[in-house]
Amino acid sequence: MFKFIKKDKEEKSIILKSPIVGRCFDMSEMPDEMFSKKLLGDGVGFESTDGILYAPVDGEILQVFPTKHALILRTEEGIEILLHIGIDTLQMKGEGFEAFTEKGKQVKVGDKLLTFDNELIKAKVKSNLSVLIVTNNNLIESIDIKLGTVDKDNEILKIRLKK
């Protein structure tokens, strides 16, 4: 007689490293309700000390906004990540931003994606605080977050995918 043994599928997860050198904090601290209330998805906030945005994970660039203040990255598992620099930075029309990537490009964790002028942002708009948001939460079982002082080599998110 045969006996069937049920085995759970191995947990599938993705690790994201910090896209910013500086401070990582809970998104509820963001001075904009769109982010603080997680209306676009779950994630974390950042305060940059060096004005550089790095790739938090390997993936494909889906979009670089024309104003270079934000971009969307998709992992091979299909997780889409919005990286957005500052609050109301769209109004700056690209001033103080430089992109080092483009739509369709494959990037590796740690690659430099954008640079931005922190002081100019502080002078011109509401805030220089930034966010990393997972926009397709329907694929996510849970997210573990590490907060505090970070650099681009620190793991900050563990995303567990739905089975």
pTM of the model as a whole: 0.92
Confidence of residue 163 (pLDDT cuts 50, 70, 90): confident
pLDDT tens sequence across 35-44: 999 999 999 9
Q: What is the pLDDT of residue 106?
A: 98
pLDDT at residue 133 is higher than 90: yes
Specify the CATH number for 24-161; select among 3.40.50.720, 1.10.600.10, 1.10.150.120, 2.70.70.10.
2.70.70.10
Compute the average pLDDT of residues 110-138.
96
pLDDT tens sequence across 48-66: 999 999 999 999 999 999 9
Annotated catalytic residues are 84
Domain boundaries, the chain: 24-161
**106-107/97-99 β-pairing:** unpaired
pLDDT at residue 161 is higher than 70: yes
pLDDT at residue 114 is higher than 90: yes
pLDDT at residue 9 is higher than 80: no
Confidence of residue 10 (pLDDT cuts 50, 70, 90): low
Compute the average pLDDT of residues 24-44.
95
66: CB partners within 8 A, 6+ apart? 94
